[in-house]
Structure 1
Amino acid sequence: MSGRYGVVITGLIGPALQASSYTVALVGADGRTAASATAARVLIGPEISTVSASASRLYFLDGPSRLRSLTPDGASAMVRDFAVGPGERVAFAVSPDDLRIAVAVIDVAAPTNSVRVYVEDLGGGGHRDLLTSQTRVMWPVGWRGSQLVLGTREDRCPVCDTFYFPSGYVVVDSSTGSTLFEVCTGGAEQDLTRNATPAGVLCVKNRGTQDRLTVDTVVAGWDGSERVVPMSCWAQGGSLSPNGELIADIEYPPCRQGHLRLLDRSGRSAAPPGFPEDGWPGGWIDDRHLVYRATNYRLMVVDIVTAKVSPVEAEGTFVASLPPNL
């Protein structure tokens, strides 16, 4: 496989929320669709993904238990079926080399949403139970070598849009399930977590007291470091570039409502002449190509060097890139 692709899926916003099926598409930096497939819709939660990208293909759920794959050349295949009981849903992450899969079985019917996480060979076998939880919803979102990255669901900001991201990340040993460290979990009320990249995770942290809101936009590194990005308005809708150098963000009051901005690590504008004025950042195909939702709700790709804008042929929501940015 050559090139990088964005992953766009339907069923997260608008009328498609009520559809019985959803579409997954691989789109290039020119906005054109390289491959697409349709599957039976799965109801889990807006922040829990039903897709996972490896270095070579996209994996997606077809109904509650069937796993399929899609390659950029359009080849689609059935991979396996999961053992799923009544009221259970699965979330998963395939390793970049297509050899292993981490699976979370979430009991959505239980009052506490109990979870068990295990790892297997992608084709079956090599089963290893990693962890269980009755109090914390966790699910696999990606791999970093032998480490497994889990997303968490926390209600720090019930009125905030989850933007299709977890509330925080827990990194565990993929052999033992032991927690190695956590990134952007816990925290104060109104804290937000945005996207995870090889360079770290974009977080919005309220460091103020009960009577005063003091918010920092932070890039939290996988090594435990924190880098504050000075911003006049924090990155509530921000998206960190894969190399960690840029933040694309939509402004909210008291800044200019709806303004699409591009900031460097010092908080200064990095937008080239002709950069779109308004829009909602969705994510990055690579360090140069940003996907955003325009004011007419269509997805667009902008080249952050030339400011060239290309419409995305596929409709839906940008949720990932292939190969994965983690």
Structure 2
Amino acid sequence: PAYGADALRFTFAALASTGRDIKLDTGRIEGYRNFCNKIWNAARYVLMQCEGRDTGLDGGVMSPSLADRWIVSRLQQVSAEVREHIEQYRFDLMAKALHEFTWHEYCDWYLELSKAVLYDEAAGEAEKRAARHTLVQVLEALLRLLHPVIPFLTEEIWQEVAPLAGVRGETIMLQPYPECDENRIDREAIAEIAWVRDFITGVRRIRSEMDIPPGRALPVLLQNWNDSDRRRYDDNARFIDGLARIESLRWLAPDEEAPESATALVGEMKILIPMSGLIDKAAELARLDKEIGRLEKSLEGLEKRLANENFTSRAPAEVVEGVRRQVEEQQHALAQLRAQQEKIRNL
């Protein structure tokens, strides 16, 4: 079957680990053909949103959203990472970094988050202009990052995207390779989006494991929350409510007893989805068994590291302390999940 030169080139880069023979697998080539299709579809969405519209090239006021600040920050970090891998001839790690950022951050998250702004009738023009500006600027830079490995597809898309990004030139081949600008890294935005993603992923995981239809909006209760959790939700409700499909949300008081619910954790905070009319008891117990098993295995590995005198005596103190913190966090999470498991068993 024909997969295309770009997919084949990316496959060779991804398999180019040092000191190994390459066993060419057409399944891998097919997977990277799907990756190329993902880039093409992302470009179609960006062009649909930005062609013939204001992308901020004329100096209009822009008000970047949290999602805009996050993806620009991640672009800087990935640009630095990719450059480092190229300099060290680790083309496999370069391909991995590009694949993860393109698919799992730009396409899966940023494009979806941008819809919360672009499709919101209440959003101001400055916000929408900033979203369109970020869409094209990040895509244009991403095409340049990908170009040495995926030359044909990126050239084709760049010819249409470059004018919208205010970039002039005959070909992407003569454009400078992206560099990291430390001044554009917003670490607060990175941490904030990590919280938003954990919240949305928690609700989606419960929905998937309980076999709840994707289009069905869910009531959500929040327990064991703090002021930071509440501020983060209030600041990002339009992202969370839309992507997690939330029908209603209630913050439980510290002494308020919650109904029997499916549970996900965001840090110390519990996301509860009441099980009445929604849950299959056996399926929820199976889900908790799986999550508890995963945590137990992870915890066992961490405890073995701490029990290893070579690790505790030779590793930097901050690394050892970081492992101890992970142990405490996972022990706490395990206790919460076991308590939830017992509540469901008693239904």
Q: TM-score, normalised by structure 2?
A: 0.24
Structure exhibiting the larger radius of gyration computed from Cα positions: 2
- Higher helix share goes to which structure? 2
- Higher strand share goes to which structure? 1
